[in-house]
Amino acid sequence: MTRVNPGGTIGILGGGQLGRMLALAAANLGYRCHIFCPEENSPAFQVADTTTVASYTNEEALIDFAQSVDVATYEFENVPGNTADTVSAHTLLRPGARALTVTQDRLTEKQFLNDAGVETAPYQAFHTADELEAAFKTIGRPSVAKTRRFGYDGKGQQLIKTPKDLELVLDVTQNMPAILEGFIPFDREISVIVARSASGDVAAYPVGENVHTNHILDTTDVPAAVSDRIEATAKVLATKVANALDYIGVMGVEMFVTDSTGQIIVNEIAPRVHNSGHWTMDGAHTSQFEQHIRAICDLPLGDTQARGKVRMKNLLGEDILNLDEFLEDPTASVHHYGKSDPRPGRKMGHVTWVKTE
């Protein structure tokens, strides 16, 4: 039996805001959560039934954690492979380890997408200076160099517009395996939050339009200002990705819409609930967090419709100090992640506005 009923315990690897919002949604459905995270005082600990503070390489702690839960999941994609293997040897791990191996490396991710018939930016792998030169001959400029692993929020990336930019690449990639990808002159960035349950049912949310500032998500608007054709195609692509991975849970699929032809190019997939899906907490019939819990527990998936026009704005760093401005706005739904140190760029909370008329 793959269904986990309310009353059961869900294990979450990672104790950040995503783990926190998953635990809150799980509690609403009658589940308990056990959070495993190396950092003390993690945001998710404040709302969880049980917590373990231990390293992701602590096998004994991982086994105890896995044996204490009915199903385990994760809130970040860089869960080490050995950690996933240990947990999945002792409990159900959803999404499974394959979603992690495919998405942890930009090269395997792009190969997987292309094999599934999903278009990406053109790319070529490189490591050494000679390989970079060869990749540059093929891809040309403008292009973007990115480390294959552990890059996020623009870290480990170098945009190449001029010959001088090319000289910076190996400093930025720091001798780590990397890819060079063609720069896509996009008109808009969109994303699809899609859920696939343990029974194989799939439900995609309306497409969100994302604006990034300094490589960090600033706002998401729903509906996206795209044609019905783009809206439908984006959802089909996300569904294709979830099915091809035999995925269980919620994932975020980030895409570029190009200006000239309205073509969709997939940039990245995140095997977890996604920042660009936070609008669903107040703006959709079922939040992405509840949907993830439903999917991994093999409950029926919830309705993904938007309740109206929705805008989500991230509160980064010291934005959180202006909380009263949002608390005094009767149309704003405020989410504070319970973090105390507002470092620049740190995700401290978000605000959502829903217009239903």
Q: State the residues that interact with ligand AMP by CB under 6 A.
A: 121, 144, 151, 154, 181, 183-184, 186, 189, 212, 215, 267-268
Quote the tokens at residue 159.
């945009």
Q: Which of 90, 53, 58, 56 is nearest to 71 (CA)?
A: 90
Nearer to ligand AMP, 90 or 183 (CB): 183
Backbone angles phi and psi of 94, in degrees to 5 = -135, 125
Rounded CA separation 334/355 (Å): 15
Query: What residue type is assigned to position 143 of the chain?
Result: S
Nearer to ligand AMP, 181 or 282 (CB): 181
Nearer to ligand AMP, 76 or 183 (CB): 183
Question: To the nearest whole angstrom, how small is the minimum distance from the Cβ of residue 184 to ligand AMP?
Answer: 4
Nearer to ligand AMP, 34 or 110 (CB): 110
Query: What residue type is assigned to position 120 of the chain?
Result: T
Q: Which of 142, 102, 143, 103 is nearest to 123 (CA)?
A: 143
SS3 141: coil
Question: To the nearest whole angstrom, how small is the minimum distance from the Cβ of residue 233 to ligand AMP?
Answer: 19
Nearer to ligand AMP, 90 or 212 (CB): 212
For ligand AMP, the nearest residue by Cβ is: 184
Question: To the nearest whole angstrom, how small is the minimum distance from the Cβ of residue 84 to ligand AMP?
Answer: 22
Scanning the structure block, which residue is given the tokens 């315990």?
A: 9
DSSP 14: -
Question: To the nearest whole angstrom, how small is the minimum distance from the Cβ of residue 101 to ligand AMP?
Answer: 18
Nearer to ligand AMP, 174 or 340 (CB): 174
**Cβ neighbours, 10 Å, residue 60:** 9
Question: To the nearest whole angstrom, how small is the minimum distance from the Cβ of residue 354 to ligand AMP?
Answer: 25
Question: To the nearest whole angstrom, how small is the minimum distance from the Cβ of residue 123 to ligand AMP?
Answer: 8
Nearer to ligand AMP, 184 or 354 (CB): 184
Nearer to ligand AMP, 70 or 189 (CB): 189
Residues 6+ apart with CB under 8 A from 69: 9, 10, 11, 34, 91
Asked if the bond preceding 43 is cis, omega within 30° of 0, the reply is no
Quote the tokens at residue 243.
């099915």
Q: What would you measure as the largest C-alpha separation in the chain, in angstroms?
A: 60
Rg (CA), the chain: 20
DSSP letters along 71-117, please? EEEESSTT--HHHHHHHHHHSEESS-HHHHHHHSSHHHHHHHHHHTT
Question: To the nearest whole angstrom, how small is the minimum distance from the Cβ of residue 276 to ligand AMP?
Answer: 10
- Which helix (H) or strand (E) covers residue 42, if one does? none
Question: To the nearest whole angstrom, how small is the minimum distance from the Cβ of residue 196 to ligand AMP?
Answer: 22
Nearer to ligand AMP, 11 or 277 (CB): 277
Question: To the nearest whole angstrom, how small is the minimum distance from the Cβ of residue 260 to ligand AMP?
Answer: 14
